[in-house]
């Protein structure tokens, strides 16, 4: 079964594996518990931070600045690079592949919560 949703609570309750999509591209794929506990991609981290229970006591939910790129205005490098809080120079010029990380596949040169060689 394939389930397409923006509701991460539904994903947590019904799925074993998840594919996080950004601008029509899979940016992280992995088992639900591992990805939800230790996301490797900055967009996965941002989605989880935007869950209302994680933002309790704040006036606004966590967001990333900027807009999702359109079909004809995609950046040269990583699709998230204009909005990513962790962006580095090569993120703006090179497009990362979907590479194996600790518990998932992540489309990021500098995965979160992991050592980078």
From first to last of its 117 residues, the chain has per-residue pLDDT tens of 788 888 888 999 999 999 999 999 999 999 999 999 999 999 999 999 888 775 556 667 778 899 999 989 999 999 999 999 999 999 999 999 998 876 789 999 999 977 655
Phi then psi for residue 32, to 5 deg, are: -55, -50
Torsion of CA 11, 12, 18, 22, to 10 degrees: 60
Integer Cα distance of 32 and 53 in angstroms: 18
Taking 3-state DSSP, the helix, strand and coil percentages for the chain, each rounded to the nearest 5, stand at: 25, 15, 60
Please state, in angstroms and rounded to a whole number, the distance separating the CA atoms of residues 83 and 87.
Answer: 8
CA angle 6-85-113, nearest 5°?
80
For residues 77 and 74, give the distance between their C-alpha atoms in angstroms, rounded to a whole number: 8
């Amino acid at each position: 079964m394939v389930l397409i949703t923006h509701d991460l609570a539904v994903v947590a309750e019904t799925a074993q594996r998840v594919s996080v999509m950004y601008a029509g591209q899979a940016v992280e794929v992995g088992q639900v518990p591992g990805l939800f506990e230790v996301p490797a991609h900055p967009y996965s981290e941002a989605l989880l931070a935007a869950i209302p229970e994680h933002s309790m006591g704040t006036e606004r939910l966590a967001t990333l600045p900027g807009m999702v790129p359109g079909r004809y205005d995609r950046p040269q490098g990583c699709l998230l690079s204009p909005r990513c809080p962790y962006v580095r120079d090569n993120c703006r010029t090179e497009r990362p592949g979907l590479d194996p990380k600790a518990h998932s596949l992540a489309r990021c040169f500098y995965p979160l919560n992991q050592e980078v060689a």
